Amino acid sequence: MATAELKNTLTGTTVEDAKEQYRATRDPKEPLFARRTLVHFAVDQDLVFVTTRPTGKRTRFLPFNTGDGGAGRRGGAGNPRVPAIGDYRTAYLWEEIWAPDTWPDLLKRFLHVGDEDVRKGRGRKASPGKAHRLPMIFPRYHQWYARLRGEGASRAVRLLPGRRLLAHLECRYDQVLSSAALRRDEVAMRQMTELLADTGASLDERDVLTLELRREICGLLVKTGDHERARAGLHALLPDMAAVFGADHPETLHIQILLENRDRLAR
């Protein structure tokens, strides 16, 4: 069903090494990755990232973290500090997500295949191995958590209005990522722009969801060749990323590299 590259920061390896291992040393054509598994995790004691399609150097990972405020709470990127020595920030992955009762249900209800035939109303056409050739969308942690909390609201603690709003925005964000994964660039850009306007009215400019959305917009602008708008967006995004994630964080460094490339083109 899944693979995982587990790294230990105490021995000098991190989640970034796990990502690089998938990109550089795992053959996407190997049956394990091409047909036999659905999702792949890069994990260390602090962070989790996930991809559904190893494609060598082009493999793209998305965060699968709870947020540093904890599940269902506003905060920055990452995971909350653990209360006791010997615990791990990423323990939720094997204690919650990979639990025997949770994992099959998550795959059944939350893993989606981007099939154009279904989207256009033509029905799914059977083809051996087709699901592994189409874009596959795995939920973000907050999407899964918000859905379960929403379903249990009538018999457990109800979501507060602010958390309902955050869950709604996060679900819309996942829809945007679905459009981008299906290469529907015009639709994705329109959805991103509308969602950014809505998050701007409800969340802080440096909220992790807003930062991720701004980053996706800049990436799409780069992809579609709109270098001037991409350059302006990256210039505004870089100091906010550095303030929230840190100047040496891989995500901040990635934005810095994109910006340097855009500046080089503008000369």
Give the pLDDT score at 247: 82
* Beta strand pairing call for 112-113 and 136-137: antiparallel
**Nearest residue to 6 via CA among 33, 41, 51:** 41
Q: Is 4 helix (H, G, I), strand (E, B) or coil?
A: strand
Structural domains of the chain, ranges and CATH numbers in brackets? 1-141 (no CATH), 160-267 (1.25.40.10)
For tokens 């991409």, the residue is 230
Give the pLDDT score at 178: 57
Instruction: Please check the confidence at residue 14 and state whether its pLDDT lies above 60.
Output: yes
Instruction: Write down the pTM of the prediction.
Output: 0.55
Per-residue confidence band for 171, with pLDDT thresholds at 50, 70 and 90: low
Q: Is 226 helix (H, G, I), strand (E, B) or coil?
A: coil
Give the pLDDT score at 49: 95
Per-residue pLDDT averaged across 35-61, rounded?
A: 90
User: Which residue has better confidence, 138 or 166?
Assistant: 138
Q: Which two tokens stand for residue 220?
A: 């799409």
* C-alpha to C-alpha distance for 91 and 104, rounded to whole angstroms: 19
* Beta strand pairing call for 48-51 and 62-63: antiparallel
Instruction: For residue range 190-229, list pLDDT tens digits in order.
Output: 777 777 776 665 555 666 667 777 887 888 788 778 888 8
Per-residue pLDDT averaged across 244-257, rounded?
A: 80
Per-residue pLDDT averaged across 153-157, rounded?
A: 37
